[in-house]
Structure 1
Amino acid sequence: MPNHASSRRHLLAGVAAVGAAALARPALAQRRGNWPERPIELAVGFSAGGGTDLTARTYARFMEQALGGSMVVLNRPGASGEIALGAIGRARPDGYLLGMTNMPGLVTLPIERRSPQFRLDDFEYIANLVTDPSAFSVAADSAIASIAALVERARREPDTITYGSTGVGTDDHLALVLFQAAAGVKLVHVPFPGAGPLRTAILGKQVDIAGLNIGEVAGAPDGLRMLVQGGATRSPFAPDVPTFREAGFAMDMGSERGIVAPKALPVEVVTRLREATAQVVRNPDFVSQVRTQFTELAYLDGPVWRQRLSEADRGFRDLWQRQPWSEA
């Protein structure tokens, strides 16, 4: 025979539990709706003063307006950007640590390293922001006055010309790898932790050639001269500098910079970040700031960007099979 008093107590307890859950859901939604409630950190895998750092700081400033919260840029240089990206991939997925990425390094580092600190599947993809073609530059008074002169000397004096990059697997380094294969020459690769130290080194003539992006050279003080650029067509910021293709080398290379977050970030936060980023790239003041840094807007929303990265991953894996670049 059922115990009606007991059943009533269980029913009331169930109703109370359902009511509490109903109250909790709006409270949780409200908390997420108030995100961000503290400063957001934006990690950059290179030292301050380079193109990636400048893009990150500009983005952060405009995102503060779009989100109504503060964003702090953290420079965590090392291992061609792998240290910062690894930290983002392992971070708590709450939206308070984001990362500014570089492609191709975002794709190539997991390919070239035996135990990479991150993989493409470790991230939520917010958006790609800009593109900045690679370039080969020399000191203004260098005896190497053109890309043809570089090739001639490199063939005459193999393994004597030094080439500085921002690290193995970066666009600067891969531009060297492709150039060496196309020109049939061999340069001495010297990696640096970022564009700032590399720019100092080329101005101080510690290296002969600097693999720097157009935005890192066009806005630099007098003392540098671009020999060749890596875009498919000439950049509006370096209209007098020939492309590799114009110089007879079938290659393109550049840095594409975007924003990622840890995997499993709440959908509400991902949506908020993507919407705010879309708002930023439509802001004429942001577009103007990007142009003053000699970089080109190349916005891709997260899902479209992720698909493009998958295609790039297949292409670089094929290149790795033919020519492993960690040895170049």
Structure 2
Amino acid sequence: MKLLRRKFLKLAGAVAAIPVLPQLASALDYPTRPVRIIAGFAAGGGVDITARLMGQWLTERLGQSFVIENRPGAGGNIGTEAVVGAVPDGYTLLLATVPNAVNASLYEKLNFNFIRDIAPVAGIIRVPMVILLNPSVPAKTVPEFISYAKANPGKVNMASAGNGSAPHMAGELFKMMAGVNLVHVPYRGQGPALTDLLGGEVQVLFATAPGTTEYIGTGQLRALAVTTAARAEVLPELPTVGDFVPGYETSQWYGICAPRNTPAEIVDKLNKEINAAIADPRMKARFAAIGGEPLPGSPAEFGNLISEETEKWGQVVRAAGIKPE
């Protein structure tokens, strides 16, 4: 009886181990087929460009194609939901960004909980934003602009790339912390907002730095400060908003996430490769060309950033009563 019992327990242990071995092997061999990186915004923007740069690096390093799939709509929610509902095997990834943190509060009903249903993999870059004025505004510094806005409440139009976009939230945070009343004018992307700022239809725009330096250099637009905690490499001559509004800080950030329950071995493998990319001189130069500064760290550190941003923007959304378009 004892001999039979030992044989049974040995057999049972072997059977129980069978499902684990293929999963472990697949994690070690990953990827064995093409991987999708879903970008929840249209081609040509910062999300798309960052995804394609990182996808090219991962393709070269891991020997399988990392294909970018654009699924724009609902402030990034359509693309996010596609990733949340995907099989957690590492073959469907998300290029995450600020609206993912904002949408948790901006939208009353979502079919997912971003923090609960996503596995943070790695941050990629931060992109500073800059306060841009039409030259008709008689202000050359942040304190002068605050004074001007307070003297003209409700008369200064603030453009944005759309409700819940990083530029919009940067402006709303500024309004709250500086105590000014700016009229929000949302556009479908930063390009149209810049066009109307140049034409004087609106007076101020919190813009991501890439694509603005030419207008600043030619004097077509006046730059006051960058929104990051420290001066930005792309515009080193500008002070920070925080120099005049203590505690103010924000940026556009990008990173990679996977569906919840994606094997830790796959998450760690991707994290290692992404961190290698943003440390590589060639890749650093390519990201710097779009104003990106490296955002290295572990999956847990990127998860902490997402949680902090979700809480931060939730407070702004609720205080300002922001609603989706």
TM value normalised by structure 1: 0.80
Give me the whole-angstrom Cα distance separating, in 2, the residues matched to 1:124 and 1:281.
Answer: 20
1:89 aligned residue: 84
Contact 1:163–1:210 under 8 Å retained in 2: yes
Give me the whole-angstrom Cα distance separating, in 2, the residues matched to 1:91 and 1:137.
Answer: 40
Give me the whole-angstrom Cα distance separating, in 2, the residues matched to 1:24 and 1:149.
Answer: 66
Displacement, 1:238?
1.3
**Amino acid in structure 2 at the alignment position of 1:306:** G
Secondary structure at 1:87's aligned position in 2? helix
Residues 28 and 309 of structure 1: is their aligned pair in 2 closer, same or farther, counting only changes over 3 Å?
A: closer
Give me the whole-angstrom Cα distance separating, in 2, the residues matched to 1:59 and 1:219.
Answer: 26
The answer as to 2:270 corresponding to 1:279 is no
1:213 aligned residue: 208
Residues 233 and 21 of structure 1: is their aligned pair in 2 closer, same or farther, counting only changes over 3 Å?
A: closer
Identity of aligned residues (%): 27
The answer as to 2:155 corresponding to 1:160 is yes
**Amino acid in structure 2 at the alignment position of 1:293:** I
Residues 22 and 184 of structure 1: is their aligned pair in 2 closer, same or farther, counting only changes over 3 Å?
A: closer
1:170 aligned residue: 165
1:242 aligned residue: 239
Give me the whole-angstrom Cα distance separating, in 2, the residues matched to 1:22 and 1:111.
Answer: 43
Contact 2:40–2:77 under 8 Å retained in 1: yes
Structure 1: which 5+ runs fail to align? 1-6
Give me the whole-angstrom Cα distance separating, in 1, the residues matched to 2:268 and 2:237.
Answer: 42
After alignment, is 251-260 or 267-276 more displaced?
A: 267-276
Summarize deviations over 1:36-88 as a string: whole Å, max 9, x none. 34332222233333333322221111111121111222333333323322322
Contact 2:159–2:187 under 8 Å retained in 1: yes
Displacement, 1:181?
2.3
TM value normalised by structure 2: 0.81
Give me the whole-angstrom Cα distance separating, in 2, the residues matched to 1:261 and 1:206.
Answer: 41
Displacement, 1:261?
0.9
1:194 aligned residue: 189
1:4 aligned residue: none
Structure 2: which 5+ runs fail to align? none
Give me the whole-angstrom Cα distance separating, in 1, the residues matched to 2:15 and 2:111.
Answer: 42
Give me the whole-angstrom Cα distance separating, in 1, the residues matched to 2:66 and 2:215.
Answer: 27
Give me the whole-angstrom Cα distance separating, in 1, the residues matched to 2:303 and 2:17.
Answer: 36
Secondary structure at 1:53's aligned position in 2? helix
Give me the whole-angstrom Cα distance separating, in 1, the residues matched to 2:255 and 2:230.
Answer: 22
The answer as to 2:105 corresponding to 1:108 is no
**CA RMSD between the two structures:** 3.4
Give me the whole-angstrom Cα distance separating, in 2, the residues matched to 1:166 and 1:117.
Answer: 25
Contact 2:41–2:47 under 8 Å retained in 1: yes
Displacement, 1:262?
1.0
